[in-house]
Structure 1
Amino acid sequence: MSDDYYDRLVDEDALAAYLEDELGEADDYDVRRHEEGHSNETLFVTWGDRELVVRRPPPGETADTAHDVIREYTVMNAVADTDVPVPDPVLACEDHDVIGSDFYVMGRLEGDVLREAEPDRFADPAHRERIGEQLVDTLAKIHRLDYEEIGLGEFGRPEGYTQRQVDRWGKQLSWAFEVTEDEREVPDLHEVGDWLRENVPEDHPHTLVHGDYKLDNVMFAPGTPPELNAVFDWEMATLGDPRADLGWMLSYWRDAKDPDPELPELVTQFMEREGYPTRVELVSRWEELTGLEFERERFYRTLAVYKLAGLGEMFFRRHLEGNADNPLYPKMRDRVPALAARAKRIIEGDEPL
Structure 2
Amino acid sequence: MKTETPAQASSVTTELSRAELDAVARHMAEAGTNPTGPLEASLITGGRSNLTYVLSDGASRWILRMPPRAGRTPSAHDVAREFRVTSGLRGSGVPVARPVVLCEDEPVLGGAFTVVDHVDGRSVQSRDDLDALDDSRLAHVMASLTETLAALHRVDHVAAGLGSFGRPDAYAQRQLHRWRGQWELVAPEDDEVRAAAAELERRLVAAVPEQRSTGIVHGDYRIDNTILEYGHLPEVAAVVDWELSTIGDPVADVAMMCAYRDEALDLILGAPSAWTSDRLPDTPALAAAYERAGGVPLDHWDFHLALAYYKIGTIAAGIEHRRRAGVGSGPGFATAGRAVPRLMAAGLEVGSLRP
Q: Is 1:210 matched up with 2:214?
A: no
Greater shift in the superposed pair: 168-177 or 148-157: 168-177
Residue 268 of structure 1 is matched in structure 2 by 273
Conservation of the 8 A alpha-carbon contact between 2:203 and 2:353? no
Q: Is 1:142 matched up with 2:146?
A: no
Structure of higher RCO (CA pairs closer than 8 Å, 6+ residues apart): 2
Cα shift at 1:59: 2.6
Post-superposition Cα deviations, 1:264-304, rounded to whole Å, max 9, x if no partner, equal 33362676455x43433322232233363212222111111
Post-superposition Cα deviations, 1:317-343, rounded to whole Å, max 9, x if no partner, equal 444555665674454554322222222
Q: Which runs of 5+ in 2 are unaligned?
A: 1-8
Flag the 1:349–1:10 CA change in 2: closer, same or farther, 3 A: farther
Q: Is 1:13 matched up with 2:17?
A: no
**CA distance, structure 2, for counterparts of residue 106 and residue 327 of structure 1:** 25
Structure 2 SS opposite 1:67: coil
Residue 253 of structure 1 is matched in structure 2 by 261
Structure 2 SS opposite 1:92: strand
Counterpart amino acid of 1:58?
Answer: P
Residue 157 of structure 1 is matched in structure 2 by 167
Structure 2 counterparts to residues 99-110 of structure 1, below 5 A:
99-110=109-120
**CA distance, structure 2, for counterparts of residue 7 and residue 149 of structure 1:** 38
Conservation of the 8 A alpha-carbon contact between 1:80 and 1:86? yes
TM-score normalised according to structure 1 size: 0.84
Flag the 1:51–1:241 CA change in 2: closer, same or farther, 3 A: same
Structure 2 SS opposite 1:11: helix
Conservation of the 8 A alpha-carbon contact between 2:22 and 2:39? no
Q: Is 1:200 matched up with 2:212?
A: no
Residue 251 of structure 2 is matched in structure 1 by 243
Alignment RMSD: 3.0
Partner residue of 1:300 out of 301, 304, 308? 304
Partner residue of 1:32 out of 32, 41, 61? 41
Structure 2 SS opposite 1:131: helix
Residue 188 of structure 1 is matched in structure 2 by 196
Greater shift in the superposed pair: 44-53 or 314-323: 314-323
Structure 2 counterparts to residues 65-144 of structure 1, below 5 A:
65-96=75-106, 98-117=108-127, 119=129, 123-144=133-154
Partner residue of 2:315 out of 303, 311, 317? 311
Cα shift at 1:143: 0.4
Counterpart amino acid of 1:110?
Answer: D
Counterpart amino acid of 1:180?
Answer: E
Structure 1 SS opposite 2:156: coil
Cα shift at 1:227: 1.3
**CA distance, structure 2, for counterparts of residue 175 and residue 101 of structure 1:** 21
Equivalenced residue count is 341
Conservation of the 8 A alpha-carbon contact between 1:41 and 1:58? yes
Conservation of the 8 A alpha-carbon contact between 2:217 and 2:247? yes
Cα shift at 1:130: 1.2
**CA distance, structure 2, for counterparts of residue 172 and residue 162 of structure 1:** 15
Cα shift at 1:27: 4.3
Partner residue of 1:284 out of 283, 288, 297? 288
Conservation of the 8 A alpha-carbon contact between 1:143 and 1:290? no
Partner residue of 1:55 out of 62, 65, 71? 65
Cα shift at 1:137: 0.8
TM-score normalised according to structure 2 size: 0.84
**CA distance, structure 2, for counterparts of residue 188 and residue 4 of structure 1:** 36
**CA distance, structure 2, for counterparts of residue 145 and residue 293 of structure 1:** 15
Conservation of the 8 A alpha-carbon contact between 2:147 and 2:294? no
Conservation of the 8 A alpha-carbon contact between 1:312 and 1:329? no
Post-superposition Cα deviations, 1:44-93, rounded to whole Å, max 9, x if no partner, equal 12236321112222235779532222221111011011100001112223
Counterpart amino acid of 1:233?
Answer: D
**CA distance, structure 1, for counterparts of residue 186 and residue 18 of structure 2:** 28
Flag the 1:8–1:309 CA change in 2: closer, same or farther, 3 A: farther
Counterpart amino acid of 1:229?
Answer: A
Q: Which runs of 5+ in 1 are unaligned?
A: 255-260
Flag the 1:29–1:288 CA change in 2: closer, same or farther, 3 A: same
Conservation of the 8 A alpha-carbon contact between 2:50 and 2:68? yes
Flag the 1:277–1:193 CA change in 2: closer, same or farther, 3 A: same
Percent identical: 30
Cα shift at 1:163: 0.9
